[in-house]
A and B are shown apart, each in its own frame.
Chain A
Amino acid sequence: MRILILASFLIVLVLFLTTQMPVILTAEQVSQSVSDAIAELQVAVDEDEMERAVQLSVAKLEHAQRNRLKYLASAYFIIWLVFMLYVLRLARHYYVLDKRLVQLEQASAHDEK
């Protein structure tokens, strides 16, 4: 039972980490791409100002996304945790009850003899 719970947690974690990874664009890549576009368009732009603006916007976007993923991960973790605690409690209860029943039935059979 414990292995099953651990496996389910690992599946959720792997799925979460592998499938929901955003396409990561670094500030440098965006900056380079914008510089190339400006060069192609042949317009006059302050390159330093532009780079600062790009870096700030990328940082803000990344921070917002990290924040959203934290909410998502916490919600699924709590759901998993509640189920895990309930199933563990059931498993323990089941084990104790089964043991007591066997003991009681054995004692009863012994008495009848």
Chain B
Amino acid sequence: MKIVAILTALLLFISLYLIFAYAPIERTMLEVQKIFYFHVSAALTVFLAFGVNFVLSITYLIKRRTEHDMVASAAAELGLVFCTIALLSGPIWARYAWNTWWNWEPRLTSTLILWLMYVGYFILRSTLSGDKRKLYSAVLGIIAYLDVPIVYYAVDIWHGGLHPERDTKWNLEQPMQWTWMVSLAAFIMLFSLLLILRYQMKKNEARYEAIQQHYLEKAR
């Protein structure tokens, strides 16, 4: 845990240094393009987080282990945080690049739908309890993940969106490419660190609930 935390802090520091001191200023968008490094990294981390939720939801349905539900919900929560970051930093960039804060273009719309689906996931979790909560949220987690490929391939499926093509990020100048890759690694490490932390907290929550339950049964 400590090693992951140190590595995350180090990678975040290096990525900030690379963004502001090493990466050259892009010719068309000038300084504003530097939003790209954290915006795209956050967006890709969303796919990873919801991917973890998807896999663990499936394994929960097969094995019915509480730990799988804990990790799945922790990953979904973090995915929602990263998705919020992508959805909030995007409009600032869009205002400069497209002269509008929001546009109902395919990628933006599908990302908003993704965010809303996982908000629904947590609303569902808060209304149910016990095994029902785990079961229904695992099913919803699997269904909600179907939107991830739609978000990723939105530009290819519906031509004419405002977002650039998927390959753009791989065709950057070398210093920009390095900076972006380090930023992505920093975000993935941050996600891993927060996931471990959140999982431990969920285990403590379960322990607390078990002790409380034990007390209630004793009182009866």
A68 to B28, CA, bound (A): 12
In the complex, how many angstroms separate the beta carbon of A45 from the nearest chain B beta carbon?
30
Asked if A82 and B81 sit within 8 Å, CB to CB, the answer is: yes
Asked if A20 and B204 sit within 8 Å, CB to CB, the answer is: no
In the complex, how many angstroms separate the beta carbon of B41 from the nearest chain A beta carbon?
10
Asked if A74 and B20 sit within 8 Å, CB to CB, the answer is: no
Binary flags per residue of A77-98, CB closer than 8 Å to B gives 1, else 0: 0110011001000100110011
Question: Which residues of the other chain, A, contact B17 by a CB distance below 8 angstroms?
Answer: 15, 19
Question: Which residues of the other chain, A, contact B212 by a CB distance below 8 angstroms?
Answer: 104
Q: Which residue of B lies closest to A104 (CB)?
A: B211
Q: At the interface, yes or no: B21 with Cβ under 8 Å from chain A?
A: yes
Q: At the interface, yes or no: A50 with Cβ under 8 Å from chain B?
A: no
Query: Range of interface residues on chain B?
Result: 35 or more
Q: Which secondary structure dominates chain A's binding surface? A: helix
Asked if B89 and A79 sit within 8 Å, CB to CB, the answer is: yes
Chain B, 160-216, CB within 8 A of any chain A CB: 194, 197-198, 201, 204-205, 207-208, 211-212, 214-215
- What are 23 A-B pairs with beta-carbon distances under 8 A? A15-B21, A16-B20, A19-B20, A20-B20, A65-B30, A68-B96, A71-B32, A71-B35, A71-B92, A71-B93, A75-B39, A75-B93, A78-B92, A79-B88, A79-B89, A82-B84, A93-B201, A94-B201, A97-B204, A101-B204, A104-B215, A108-B211, A108-B215
* The 8 A-B residue pairs with the shortest CB-CB distance in the complex, in nearest-first order: A19-B21, A75-B35, A75-B92, A19-B20, A68-B31, A75-B89, A15-B20, A71-B96
Q: Which residues of A contact B (CB under 8 A)?
A: 8, 11-12, 15-16, 19-20, 65, 68-69, 71-72, 74-76, 78-79, 82-83, 86, 90, 93-94, 97-98, 100-101, 104-105, 108
